[in-house]
Chains A and B, each alone.
Chain A
Amino acid sequence: MHQLSVSDFFVHKFGFAVDHEVFNMQNIIEVNQISYNYPERSLLFDNLSLNVREGEWLALIGQNGSGKSTLARLIDGLLVLKSGAITVDGLSVNDENINEIRNRIGIVFQNPEDQFVGATVEDDVAFGLENRQVPREQMHEIVEKSLKSVGMWQFRERIPANLSGGQKQRVAIAGIIALHPKIIILDEATSMLDPQGRKDILQLVRDLKEDNHLTVISITHDIDEAAGADRVVILNQGQIIDENTPDGIFAKPQRLKQIGLDAPYPAKVIEALSRRGITSDKQYMNDEELIAWIKQLVSRM
């Protein structure tokens, strides 16, 4: 099955083809039959393969302990594979290429407090640039630009203790876009934020993605975040049990529940309505489609 192309895979498994425009782009990350286990624990990944295409927003969902964060760390070379290979932008992940690979990938981690290295906002954004030995004058320009793009420039002299969680995540994102990565990995970056902060951060990343043609991998428990992705991959106990567009994934809310995940709000509405005898021909709709459909129903009554 690994030899099939992804679109073939969908035809083969689900009997329908997925949007070709998204799926025919070049792979930027290729994860090839990898195995990995933490020391003194059984295999977490056994022959896992996954491709990420350039410019797509990929959501990686799954329960706690399903291996989502581990996969992100393996891609960035923070953990070392047991077997298999990972290629990022044509470079295989190994000790030799590690700096090149980390230039291409920026990760925003879950806990905003722990990834704040600098003593002030400015210093934190400059940290990655200092590591890459960027000259000082250039550094000041880039820091200013990055902080302005996340709307944190007026907070540049603040210390982390005087920032909110959302603001710290903005600084973390600024620190990453200062390095011009091709890939941004959000490792549950919004999980500790309130709904508004979460929305703001996601909108920010979405805008950045459009402006800079980035590839985004978002690891998340937030099902609504996943619903906005181009493609959703479900990981369960170290195995990919499904990958599809959000429409395809959320069309089966029952199965999501079986593996301990929730369905997005529109899917729940559709399900609740179908239990009351109001069925639609479409399995999943986003907010706008749902509203349009309900309006249509009401007008027909």
Chain B
Amino acid sequence: MSNFIFGRYLPGHSWIHRMSPQSKLLLSFYFVIVIFFANNGYSYGLLSALIVFVILMSGVSIAYFLKGIRPLIWLIVFTVLLQVLFSSGGHVLWHFGPFSITDQSLINGGFIFIRFLLIIMISTVLTLTTTPLAIADGVQTVLKPLKKVKFPVDTLALMLSIALRFVPTLMDEMETILNAQRARGVDFGSGSLKHRVKAAVPLLVPLFTGAINHAENLSTAMEARGFSDSEHRTKYRLYKWQFRDTISWIVFLLVGGLVLVFRKY
């Protein structure tokens, strides 16, 4: 789990760390959409330049981003290969049966590769510079308009923050159960697939009942501390829209506009 970088938070005090989570969430969304509008060297070049700039601004070392790509590398290679081997049009450089490589398909493959990279980079920047708690709060702010159609936004945010808060607790518990069952002779992680699935039962069932116990105790404790519903509450944390958010949005909107202009060429 330790080399699994996605969803991990690195503390820091950079420009991007101090942006409000709701604007970071929306910016990442917006950026992903803009990526799909890019269709030529100029627009991809511009977006790549922006991402490099963002990474430099985040103050996080490049090594972390490379680590973030590693688990996805096979997916990227596979997709790029498909694109290169099966797309048609342009000057044919090489062909064999149904496979063919053209200059056009090579360019397309390159674009797909950059597209993947950009999407992974922007989401890694988001998760590396934002605490899970702030992300939960950001989601709540972003979804606020849905309240008009009676969507339970506050309840969803509370669920999200409790879920995030219990992730390490349940991980620890899983470790304990794993060791306790090993001490009783259960063999995890070897043998046939069927055997392995069967071995997971003595892990999952106690984990499940444990989770229900947690839920019951937590709800009692919450009630005892005056929790009645998730709507009529004030908030301890406030993530205000700041001047730096406005600046970032201006930069991103400018780049988005330029990408639309470059599309024509």
Contact = CB atoms under 8 A, between A and B. Distances in A.
Q: State which size class the interface on B falls in.
A: 20 to 34
A99 B228 contact: yes
B152 interface: no
A117 B217 contact: no
A128 B227 CA distance: 7
Interface of B is mostly: helix
Given A114-B218, A130-B235, A159 B168 contact: yes
B236 A179 contact: no
B165 interface: yes
Given A99-B226, A118-B165, A127-B225, A143 B236 contact: yes
Interface string A112-148: 0111111110110011111111111001100100000
B105 to A, nearest CB: 48
Given A113-B169, A127-B225, A135 B234 contact: yes
A130 B233 contact: yes
A152 B218 CA distance: 22
A136 B217 contact: no
B161 interface: yes
A134 B234 contact: yes
A102 interface: yes
Q: State which size class the interface on A falls in.
A: 35 or more
| 8 tightest Cβ-Cβ pairs between the two chains A and B | A114-B217, A126-B236, A115-B221, A161-B168, A131-B226, A119-B133, A128-B225, A130-B233
Interface of B: 131-133, 136, 161-162, 164-165, 168-169, 172, 213-214, 217-218, 220-228, 232-238
23 contacts: A78-B223, A102-B224, A102-B225, A109-B224, A111-B217, A113-B169, A113-B214, A114-B213, A114-B221, A115-B221, A119-B132, A119-B133, A119-B164, A120-B133, A123-B133, A128-B225, A130-B233, A130-B236, A131-B228, A133-B234, A135-B234, A136-B235, A140-B236
